[in-house]
Amino acid sequence: MDLHGSFHVYDTTLRDGAQQEGLNLSVADKLSIARQLDGLGVGYIEGGWPGSNPKDTEFFRRASQELELTHAKLAAFGATRRAGVRAADDPLVAALRDSGAGVVTLVAKSHDRHVELALRTTLEENLAMVRDTVTHLREEGQTVFLDAEHFFDGYRANRAYALEVLRTAAEAGAEVVALCDTNGGMLPDWVSDVVLDVIESTGARVGIHAHNDSGCAVANSLAAVAAGASHVQGCINGYGERTGNADLVTVVANLELKLDRSVLPQGLLKEATRIAHAVAEVTNVPPASRQPYVGTSAFAHKAGLHASAIKVDPDLYQHLDPLVVGNDMRLLVSDMAGRASIELKGKELGYDLSEDRELVTRVTDRVKQMEQGGYTFEAADASFELLLAEEVEGARPSYFDVESWRVITETRTDGEAVSEATVKLTAAGVRYVVTGEGNGPVNALDAALREAIGQAFPEVAKFELIDYKVRILDQGHGTDAITRVLIETSDGESSWVTVGVGANVIEASWGALVDGLTFGLRRQHR
């Protein structure tokens, strides 16, 4: 059943997802995530609450200039007008109207006690606030969705009033009334009953906004859809306040793959794994390996017991083919699994390893040992290629010999800190001693290293360090822990990622920097 276009897949990562503890998104982060979500083909991207804080205001300003979306429409989130003022006179309503998004998702109270205690106004005035704000925004050409906050609790407390809020919004021109399980305590059967009643009682188009406090956010979303909802809100990777919002990818994958409802543009679901991981890189919240569909463990099998049957028919051991969500089956523990993927990876990089079993064993063992020590090669293709080249060619590719390095970070008299690095190395037969400065120790080391090497290999001038990530492994040991650094280097045309590991963060960074330059030079000189 192709529902794309008629069914709303509505992402609220940039607004409700950003409420997650420990998740802080800059404006640049938000723009980058919006592009990823558009690549997944969601219908709506809720960008934030313009006017409520400088960051969200800035996001909408930049989005209207920089953000080109293919599939998604941008939505601005905000509240109904304040009590006792005209909608047109409320500056926060004006910020919604003028955000440039074209779609406004208005949050309204639908629980009588919340109206009285949180809004401190009357039930009648709250209805007027809904009516006026929707009417005003519709007159100004906006599409309006209503988020009925605390709807399920409100429905229990005062069904007639909760329904009246929805009816008021729908009559004023709201296209969708989304029922929010704001506290996240619902169970699927309850959601189903309420959605059925709302549709029968109001005739409105219904949406669902679920949180995971009872561990049922996905099932609650599906129950709402089964009962007639045609608009589902959620967040990629299930981000969100407390226990998180419904994981939008899981909901969509269940709808498309299990319930035969195509809600994304055709062919985009297979981007899900890549996009979920890319967004996790931006949020810097480590991706959950056990996440349904897209987790790195989601299709990982302990080999052994059933290995022979898996070979005959993998479908007997997985609920669906992982490729449909862009994930992959992995076999764990078994040495065969490791070897096979090393061989495959080698092939990808232009090395045919199929004839040399001993070499494959050597590389597999070394990778396992290094990963045990904190390395990761999943993201660091360039470091893996250097390792492979070392084993195949007998020596690690090398264009310079480092004698020593040192970096000093100290306070200036004005209190700010500056870094200065000295690198001693030999390149193309000449010894260089170079000092570089930077606003941080790694920056300074990078500057010194590239200046020294640049005298022998001028092409490094166009190399640029474009991303730098630090992860502390083995948390709980404070600064004693092992540090892993990933560095992305670009030559203006393409980029590559290298990894370094060490008890000392500077040492780990140095390893990744040296690999990054070596890999770049190797490309030029092959």
Contact set for a second copy, span 58-87 (CB under 8 A): 79
Nearest 10 degrees: Cα torsion 44, 45, 48, 50? -60
Q: Which of residues 128-147 bind a second copy (CB under 8 A)?
A: none
CA atoms of 201 and 173, how far apart (whole Å): 17
Q: Which one, of 324, 295, 322, lies nearest residue 310 by Cα?
A: 322
Q: Which of residues 462-481 bind a second copy (CB under 8 A)?
A: 464-481
Residue whose tokens read 């780990």: 508
Q: What angle separates helix 217-226 from helix 188-202, to the nearest 10 degrees?
A: 30
Of the candidates 267, 200, 206, the residue with the CA atom closest to the CA atom of residue 231: 206
395-414 residues near a second copy, rule: CB under 8 A:
402, 404-411
- Shortest distance in whole angstroms from residue 271 CB to a second copy: 19
Six token digits for residue 216: 């049922």
Tell me the CA distances in angstroms from 38 to 24, 71, 207, one per residue in order.
21, 6, 20
Of the two residues 3 and 472, which places its CB atom closer to a second copy in the complex?
472
Residue 372 or 494: which CB sits closer to a second copy?
372
Whose Cβ is closer to a second copy: residue 172's or residue 380's? 380
- Contact between 238 and a second copy by CB under 8 A: the answer reads yes
Residues 338-357 contacting a second copy, CB under 8 A: none
Residue 348's contacts (CB-CB under 8 Å, 6 or more residues apart) are none
C-alpha 19/C-alpha 34 separation (Å) is 16
Q: Is 164 in the site for a second copy (CB under 8 A)?
A: no
Residue 390 touching a second copy (CB under 8 A): no
Q: Minimal distance in Å, beta carbon 368 to a second copy?
A: 7
Cβ(45)–Cβ(11) under 8 Å? yes
Q: Is 39 in the site for a second copy (CB under 8 A)?
A: no
Contact between 153 and 186 under an 8 Å Cβ cutoff? The reply is no
Binder to a second copy among 439, 455, 461, 462 (CB under 8 A)?
439
318 binds a second copy, rule: CB under 8 A: yes
CA dist., res. 351 & res. 137, Å (int):
61
Residue (406 or 525) nearer to a second copy, CB: 406
Which of 10, 400, 432, 510 touches a second copy (CB under 8 A)?
A: 510
Q: Which of 2-10, 123-131, 301-309, 348-356 is the region at the interface with a second copy (rule: CB under 8 A)? A: 301-309
Residue from 189, 260, 348, 401 that binds a second copy (CB under 8 A)? 189
At closest approach, how far in Å is the CB of 303 from a second copy?
6
CA 203 to CA 192: how far, in whole Å?
Answer: 16
In the complex with a second copy, which residue's Cβ is closer, 1 or 118? Answer: 118
Tell whether residue 282 is a contact of a second copy (CB under 8 A).
yes
